[in-house]
Chains A and B, each alone.
Chain A
Amino acid sequence: MIRVILPGHLRALAHVSAEVQLDVKAPVTQRSVLDALEAQYPMLRGTIRDHVTQERRPFLRFFACEEDYSLEPPDTPLPDAISSGAEPLLIIGAIAGG
């Protein structure tokens, strides 16, 4: 199972309390994980990726195994530790304020 940790606001929207677990067929990529996430939690459609362009919302970042994968092409395979479920994929909202 693939593990995904969502920002607090999206956890509230999806009515989940902690990380979510997804059944994702190989290859495990940003796109396949997000497709599975949106299929399981359709209320998240449009909140992580633009509804039409499917591009990442600019203030969200994707981290895996302490690396920033936000700028990687969406079909780039994620690390084995993500595919195996050893590590979660983190979706993080950019910190803003001051």
Chain B
Amino acid sequence: MSKVRVLVGTRKGAFVLTSDGKREKWDVSGPHFAGWEMYHLKGSPADPNRLYASQCSGWFGQIIQRSDDGGKTWTQPGTPPGEKDAQPAGPPKGESNKFVYDTSAQTGKPLTTHQWYDGTQHPWEFKRVWHLEPSPTDPDTVYAGVEDAALFRSTDGGKNWHELSGLRGHGTGPRWQPGAGGMCLHTIILDPKDPGRIYIAISAAGAFRTDDAGKTWRPINKGLHSQYIPDPNAEVGHCVHHVAMHPSRPNVLFMQKHWDVMRSDNAGDSWQEVSGNLPTDFGFVIDVHAHDPETIYVVPIKSDGEHFPPDGKLRVYRSKTGGNEWEALTKGLPQSDCYVNVLRDAMAVDSLDKCGVYFGTTGGQVYASANAGDSWTPIVRDLPAVLSVEVQTLP
């Protein structure tokens, strides 16, 4: 029977939740890395026991952790516990923590500043890894989206990281600016049909696409309208919160923007609003049903000033028409006095039949639906604030 493994990153550690295919009884493992901010954990599609995790702290910086046994044990890639540095005879250890912006002349356009909140230019400063995206085909290849916004890649299982500097070197880089959560690259989508195509999104620069495996990038923000940007055709500056894609249709993208839920049918070349009858089109998460690429999910949040559900009712909204027509999913979710948020990487789906949908809240609950959203139950209720939720469907 199939199994499900849910990887949960929280403000104070990581948790691994497992269940059989019925998704009724859950085992909870954790906290792993207790006390650390775990921005994101994700498993390799090519080797489900290979997990990558972003562990960080305002005191101690960024750590990359890797598990090769499905989350039972973890090590920093290339640095087994108890093994001293091999210098000068071998390569240095401890490099898995090292994210260094590419400022070499060979890459053409090394950038040193971006726009700060007050409009002045500000140096690019590495802070943390927001999102890890393993390759669909190679367990040792993994991408990292970081703050300040840049895209890194490792091809040796996380031991060494190198920036794909063509993104930051895009001519618009000096006009990128941080959102309230920092200038983070939070979304990485690898096209399963075209290894050269990658989508990324940055708050608050917008969405970008490469068609040559990261050498060159183009902004894909046409059709986005942001009330704080006077220019209706602004190439960058949009606060994209999250983007989702169904693997069977890599040209169709769904976006939860700061305000507005958007859809693109041409790989981001243009976007149309599909907010339709949502009670508010502000929010952070968006995801796509595993088996029906026209069924999408969002969790409306009241506003950018009030990061909680409207009317104190936690409601997932589902559209079976690819947007515009939305239904509220409330069964099993609190419908009064609920004032949690659901952050941008905190929703995921499994690929069982029926599709399972999962999301985590800043109140520490992880809710699961084993019937595509028709009803919900909390797997756990009292974790630290949930930063991310990912799901693995295991044989």
Closest to B83 in A: A42
- Given the known inter-chain contacts A42-B79, A46-B98, please indicate yes or no for A10 contacting B84, CB distance below 8 A: no
A10-B60, A39-B84 given; 13 more Cβ-contact pairs under 8 Å: A9-B57, A9-B59, A13-B63, A39-B87, A42-B79, A42-B85, A42-B92, A43-B63, A44-B94, A45-B92, A45-B93, A60-B59, A93-B59
- CA–CA, A94 and B84, complex, Å: 28
Partner among B35, B58, B81, B97 whose Cβ is within 8 Å of the Cβ of A51: B97
A70 to B84 alpha-carbon distance, docked (Å): 26
- Give 15 pairs: A residue, B residue, CB < 8 Å, sorted on A: A9-B36, A9-B59, A10-B60, A39-B85, A42-B85, A43-B79, A43-B93, A43-B94, A45-B94, A51-B61, A51-B100, A57-B60, A60-B59, A60-B60, A94-B59
Q: Which residues of chain B come closer than 8 Å to A52, judged between CB atoms?
A: 98, 100
Q: What 0/1 readout, one digit per residue, does chain B (196-225) give for beta carbons within 8 Å of chain A? A: 000000000000000000000000000000
Could you tell me which B residues sit within 8 Å of A by CB distance?
34-36, 57-63, 76, 79, 81-85, 87, 92-95, 97-100
Query: Within the complex, what minimum Cβ distance (angstroms) separates B10 from chain A?
Result: 15
B59 with A57: CB separation less than 8 A: yes
A84 located at the interface, meaning its Cβ lies under 8 Å from any Cβ of chain B in the complex: no
The answer for the CA separation of A15 and B83 in the assembled complex, in Å, is 11
B85–A59 CB distance below 8 A: no
Q: Are B62 and A46 in contact (CB under 8 A)?
A: yes
C-alpha gap A13/B61 in the complex (Å): 12
Is A47 at the interface (CB under 8 A from chain B)? yes
B97 and A45: CB pair below 8 A?
yes
Complex: A73 Cα to B79 Cα, angstroms: 29
Closest Cβ–Cβ distance, residue B129 to chain A (whole Å):
12
Within 8 A of B (CB), among A25-46: 38-46
Residues of A within 8 A of B35 (CB): 8-9
Given the known inter-chain contacts A38-B85, A39-B84, A40-B84, please indicate yes or no for A45 contacting B60, CB distance below 8 A. Answer: no
When distances are taken between beta carbons in the complex, the residues of chain A under 8 Å from B95 are: 45
A23 to chain B, nearest CB (A): 11
Within the complex, the shortest CB–CB distance from B295 to chain A, in Å, comes to 42
- A7 at interface, CB cutoff 8 A: yes
Return chain B residues, CB-CB under 8 Å to A10.
Answer: 60
Q: Would B98 and A15 count as touching, CB distance under 8 A?
A: no
